[in-house]
Amino acid sequence: MSTLVDTRDRVTQPIVSANLKQLLIARSDWFAREIMRGVKSGEHAYITPAQSRLLAHMAGKPASMAELARRLAISRQAVHKTVAELARRGILEVRDDPERRNAKIVSYTEKGRQVNRAGARIIEQIEQRLAERLGAGRLEALRELLAEDWD
């Protein structure tokens, strides 16, 4: 039986009656906590959960501020604040979009690419632990289901 875990990793309640959305949110929250646990134990411990989420939504590729706001479902002001802090730390850079007059493009610096690689290693470790807990076949089946087009 699966259980919900709060932010302090205490078991709170069984998930038996949870709907699919609640299950997906609970597992996504768990994954985000595990990523941050890995981040906090490494050389990039200054990365916040909001910054980690923004970097994940960039998926290693440049993106406009407006696109990041849409992907994250937050205001452009919140994106701007998060990007500004990451730029101050030398992880991201912001430049004018040559195709759109008032738009800004956000991209990784070399340091940002190093942070991205460190994040990928953390995710690999989490996935290895999941394979040990769930079994490699079940983890692959989960990956295939989540990768399908649901539209």
Q: Is residue 146 included in any domain, yes or no?
A: no
Task: Give the model's pLDDT for residue 45.
Answer: 94
Residue 66 contacts residue 52 (beta carbons within 8 Å): no
Q: Is residue 151 included in any domain, yes or no?
A: no
Please enumerate in sequence order all residues whose Cβ is within 8 A of that of 53, keeping only pairs 6 or more positions apart, or say none.
Answer: 32, 72
Q: What gap in Å lies between CA 87 and CA 13, rounded to an integer?
A: 40
Per the structure, the complete domain to which residue 115 belongs is given by 3-140
Q: Is residue 91 included in any domain, yes or no?
A: yes
Give the pLDDT confidence of 10-63 residue by residue, as tens digits.
Answer: 545 556 667 999 999 999 999 999 999 999 999 999 999 999 999 999 988 999
Task: Give the model's pLDDT for residue 60.
Answer: 87
Looking at the 3D structure of the chain, how many domains does it have?
Answer: 1
Q: Is residue 149 included in any domain, yes or no?
A: no
Q: What gap in Å lies between CA 23 and CA 4, rounded to an integer?
A: 9
Residue 67 contacts residue 76 (beta carbons within 8 Å): no
The CATH code of the domain that includes 135 is 1.10.10.10
3-state secondary structure of 14: strand
Burial group, residue 10, by CB count within 10 angstroms (0-12, 13-18, 19+): exposed
Task: Give the model's pLDDT for residue 6.
Answer: 52
Instruction: Return mean pLDDT, the chain.
Output: 90
Q: Is residue 82 included in any domain, yes or no?
A: yes
Q: Is residue 124 included in any domain, yes or no?
A: yes
* H-only helix segments in 4-64: 20-40, 49-58
The arithmetic mean of pLDDT across residues 60-68, rounded, is 94
Q: Alpha-carbon Rg of the chain, whole angstroms? A: 17
Q: Is residue 132 included in any domain, yes or no?
A: yes
Structure tokens at 106: 């956000």
- Is 5 a residue whose pLDDT tops 70? no
Q: Is residue 148 included in any domain, yes or no?
A: no
Measuring CA to CA, which residue among 92, 61, 36 is closest to residue 80?
Answer: 92
Task: Give the model's pLDDT for residue 102.
Answer: 87
